[in-house]
Each structure stands twice: as C-alpha cells, then as structure tokens.
C-alpha cells in the first residue's frame, strides 16, 4: 500500500506539470509576443516531450533494463529540473527546452508508474491502487490551479508566471526523497533472476504466507510462459487486439477535449465573460470537482468495473459537450452573467464525467491488458498515443477556437465521444478482479482457440 501511494505521487507531479501552464498563457503570450498558433505550440511543447518520454520508455525499455524504481527516480529529477529551468528561463527558446524536459518526465511517468502499482497490488485492489496514480494526477491539477491563484495574488504581476512554474520544484524533490522507502517490483526482480530479493518483497507486500506463495507461483508461471516471447516484436498479430484496445482508449481520452479544457480553463471562462480573478477561482473549482469525482470512481472501480464507469462517463460527455456547444453558438461573443455561470457549471460537470469515467479507467485498463513480456512496452505505447493526441489537440485548440469559435470546437469533441460510446458498448472488455497472469486468457492473447472464436469477455 505504501509503495503504491509513494509511486503514485509521480502522478501528482504529472498533473501539476501539465496544468500549471493554464495560469500562465496570457503572460506567456505577452512576454514572448505569441500569436494564437504560437501559444498553442508553446503549450504543446511539454506534450511533445511526453511523446518522446513515452516513446523512449517503450523503445529503449529502461523500466525493463534498469527496473521500475530507478526510472521513477529519473522522472522525479526531470520534474525538478523542468520546474527550476522554466521559472528562470531568460527567453522563449530556453523556456521551451525546459518545458520539453518536464514533458519527457510526464510521458515516462505515465508509462512506468501504473505498471509499478499494478505489479505491487493484489488483484482485488489493483484497480484502486493503480487508480491512485490518476487520483494524484487530478490532485496535482487542483494544486496547480490553487498555486496559480495564490501566486497571482502574492507575486509581482510581471513575474507571477515564473513563480507558478518554480513552485513545482518542492514536490519534485519530495518525490525523489520518498522513493527511498519503496521496494523494486517483485515481478521485475523475478524477471531478471533476483528471486531471493523478489521473495522478500512479496513477503513484505503479502504478509499472509499462503497469499505470498500463490503470488510467487503465479508470477513464476507467467514468466515461464512468456520466456520464449521476451525478444518477440511488439507489433505482432498476437498482440493486435490489446494494441487496438490501448490505442482506442488512449485516443478517445484526448478526443474528449479534456486537456484543452484543463489547459485553457481560465481562457475559456474569460471568453464567457468572466474577469481574471474569477476565471482563476473557477479553474480551482474545476480542479476540486475533478478530485472529488476521481475519489468516487476509485471507491467503485473494483465493484462496478471498468466498462460501467466508461459508459457513465461517455453519457456525461455527450450531455455536457452538447450543451456547451449550443451555449457558445447561441451566445457568440455576448455572454450574460447567467450564461457565464452556466458555462462554468457545464465545464465542471464535463470534468466530473471525465474523472469518473475515462480519467479513472485509462491507466488501470492499459496496465492490465498486456502480457508481462510486453507490459512495459504496452504501457509506453498507450502513453505515446495519449500524449500524441494531447499535443495535437492542445496545439490547435486556441487557433480552432479563434477561427471557428468555441461552439464548433465543443461540437467536434461531442462527435468524437459518440464514437467512444459505440466503442465501449461493442468492443471494450471487462478486466476487473482478474489476476494479471490470467488476463491473457480473458483477452485471448496468445490463445489461438479464443482468437478463432472471437471471445474476449
């Protein structure tokens, strides 16, 4: 439990690093004389870094070569360097470099931390434990919003944006220090032949002797089964189904428009007629709703299952995005006070739908569906797809909203979520409560008979 909680703190930095820029967009546009397209690219720079981080984690497999824990250390250091460098950057290029460095840390964290949590958690609690990563992401987002508001009030106007970035150095340093307290993943230890050390970790994680013996046996059997496949290529017919599932859930996650809303929340509220301080406070409300909804999802994800949460979230997406599109089409540039508050309410409900559905499920689902022989690469692949779509959407959103308006932008996300609902209803399997070592049978990975019959549930 403690190990999963500490590792999941990487998610707090993940959320803080990605959301902190939401409070600085106007300042960055002024300081660096950016156009709408230039601002979108500046925001997307960190997300491009996440693509590189996810790709590097998948291609070079540092989590497989050096262990999960060492990679988590490196991620914490990247966050620290990014925070300090972004705060002190003397020019736009230097700023972009340090934001890119932070993005590399985010991409690697999304690929490694959920794997670690999945591998140190018992099946009955795995959804909750891996979900801690998502909980900490939204906690980091909330803290970023609140920190931005505090810095806006306390720091000089000309340098407030620098303080907003610099604050992240403190939790980054705390994360690195706390990692001393966590063990290496027992599954990775057994995979590299450090069996005695793995047994000590398993015993610590599962004090009941029978449970510890069963965990050791299941891991050993899975490794033996996968031993012949350790050097197999990732993109094979055998993995086609789980690759498709990971791609779909990761792509839909961003096609909802969630990152565009989180990164540009103050700008969206400002476009709906709210003042600067009110926009920042409303963004804090969005972060709080995100956190509460994620907490609720974590309580029920192992009871209701992954698919039910996705169904509930999908319906919530459609209602809120549809109404947001209508409001922006009807109001145009002339928002009344009532219309402005309605936009705030809809954005909060939209974020709640995301947090209870996609936000709670994505990293749990991706960490579960791949066999151990390619789990690290599978998680990296899902992260790569996720952040690739995030970068593209965050890049074009300011320009899209400027050219065609907020109504058309939200309508686009609405259509994408119709497609997600169809995917969940027809193609998404349920994975709750199934031991990682047995999920290959549930998904038909490597089972020719299952593949022929088409059974996946």
pLDDT in tens, the chain (457 residues): 566 677 767 788 888 988 899 889 889 999 999 988 898 899 889 989 988 887 888 677 888 889 888 999 999 999 999 999 999 999 999 999 999 999 999 888 877 887 787 777 766 666 666 667 777 887 888 899 899 989 989 999 899 999 999 999 999 999 999 998 888 888 889 888 898 988 888 888 777 787 788 778 878 877 776 565 556 578 888 888 999 999 999 999 999 999 888 877 777 777 766 766 677 777 888 889 988 998 899 888 888 999 999 999 999 999 999 999 999 888 876 777 788 889 889 999 999 999 999 988 998 898 888 877 777 778 778 888 888 898 899 888 888 877 887 889 899 999 999 999 999 999 998 888 776 667 766 676 654 433 433 433 3
Alpha-carbon gap, residue 3 to 132, rounded angstroms: 11
Tell whether 351 is covered by a domain. yes
> Residue 131 belongs to what domain range?
2-182+232-453
Please state the domain count of the chain: 1
271 belongs to a structural domain:
yes
217 falls within a domain: no
* Nearest partner of 387 among 242, 258, 245, 243, judged by Cα: 258
220 domain residue, yes or no:
no
CB 117 within 8 A of CB 132: yes
Residue 353 to residue 302: CA distance in whole angstroms: 18
Say if 327 falls within a structural domain: yes
Under the phi-then-psi rule, with left for phi > 0, alpha for psi from -120 to 50, and beta for the rest, what region is 433? left
Direct distance between the N- and C-terminal alpha carbons of the chain, in angstroms, rounded to an integer:
29
CATH value at residue 241: 1.20.1250.20
Helices (H), 405-434: 406-426
DSSP letters, 304-332, are H-HHHHHHHHHHHHHHHHHHHHHHHHHHT
Domain assignment present for residue 194? The answer is no
| All residues at 6 or more sequence positions from 165 whose CB lies less than 8 Å from its CB, including other chains | 20, 24, 83, 86, 87
In a domain, 160, yes or no: yes
Asked, for residue 315, whether it belongs to a domain, the answer is yes
How many whole angstroms separate alpha carbon 195 and alpha carbon 434?
A: 24
């Amino acid at each position: 439990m403690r190990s999963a909680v500490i590792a999941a703190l990487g998610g707090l930095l993940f959320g803080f690093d990605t959301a902190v820029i939401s409070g600085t967009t106007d300042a960055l546009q002024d300081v660096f004389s950016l156009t709408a397209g230039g601002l979108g690219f500046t925001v997307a720079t960190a997300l491009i870094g996440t693509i590189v981080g996810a790709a590097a984690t998948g291609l070079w497999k540092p989590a497989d070569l050096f262990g999960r824990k060492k990679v988590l250390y490196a991620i914490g250091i990247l966050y620290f360097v990014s925070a300090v460098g972004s705060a002190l950057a003397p020019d736009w290029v230097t700023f972009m470099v340090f934001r890119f460095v932070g993005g590399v840390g985010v991409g690697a964290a999304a690929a490694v931390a959920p794997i670690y949590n999945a591998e140190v958690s018992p099946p009955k609690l795995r959804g909750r434990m891996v979900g801690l990563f998502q909980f900490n992401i939204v906690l980091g987002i909330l803290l970023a919003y609140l920190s931005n508001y505090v810095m806006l009030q306390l720091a000089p106007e000309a340098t407030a944006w620098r303080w907003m970035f610099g604050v992240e150095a403190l939790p980054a340093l705390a994360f690195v220090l706390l990692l001393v307290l966590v063990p290496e993943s027992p599954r990775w230890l057994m995979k590299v032949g450090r069996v005695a050390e793995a047994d000590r970790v398993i015993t610590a994680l599962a004090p009941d002797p029978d449970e510890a013996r069963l965990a050791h046996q299941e891991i050993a059997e899975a490794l033996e089964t996968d031993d012949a496949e350790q050097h197999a290529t990732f993109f094979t017919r055998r993995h086609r189904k789980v690759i498709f599932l990971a791609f779909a859930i990761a792509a839909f996650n961003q096609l909802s428009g969630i990152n565009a809303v989180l990164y540009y929340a103050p700008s969206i509220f400002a476009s709906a007629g709210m003042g600067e301080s009110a926009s920042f406070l409303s963004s804090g409300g969005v972060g709080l709703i995100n956190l509460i909804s994620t907490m609720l999802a974590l309580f029920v994800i192992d009871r209701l299952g992954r698919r039910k949460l996705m169904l509930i979230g999908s319906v919530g997406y459609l209602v809120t995005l549809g109404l947001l599109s209508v409001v922006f089409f009807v109001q145009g540039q002339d928002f009344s006070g009532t219309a402005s508050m309605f936009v705030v309410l809809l954005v909060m409900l939209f974020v709640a739908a995301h947090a209870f559905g996609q936000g709670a499920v994505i990293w749990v689902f991706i960490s579960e569906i791949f066999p151990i022989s390619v789990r690290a690469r599978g998680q990296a692949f899902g992260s790569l797809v996720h952040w690739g779509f995030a970068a593209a959407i965050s890049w074009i959103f300011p320009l899209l909203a400027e050219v065609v308006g907020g109504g058309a932008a939200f309508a686009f996300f609405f259509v994408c979520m119709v497609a997600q609902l169809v995917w969940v209803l027809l193609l998404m399997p349920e994975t709750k409560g199934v031991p990682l070592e047995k999920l290959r049978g549930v998904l038909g990975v490597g089972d020719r008979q299952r593949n022929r019959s088409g059974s996946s549930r």
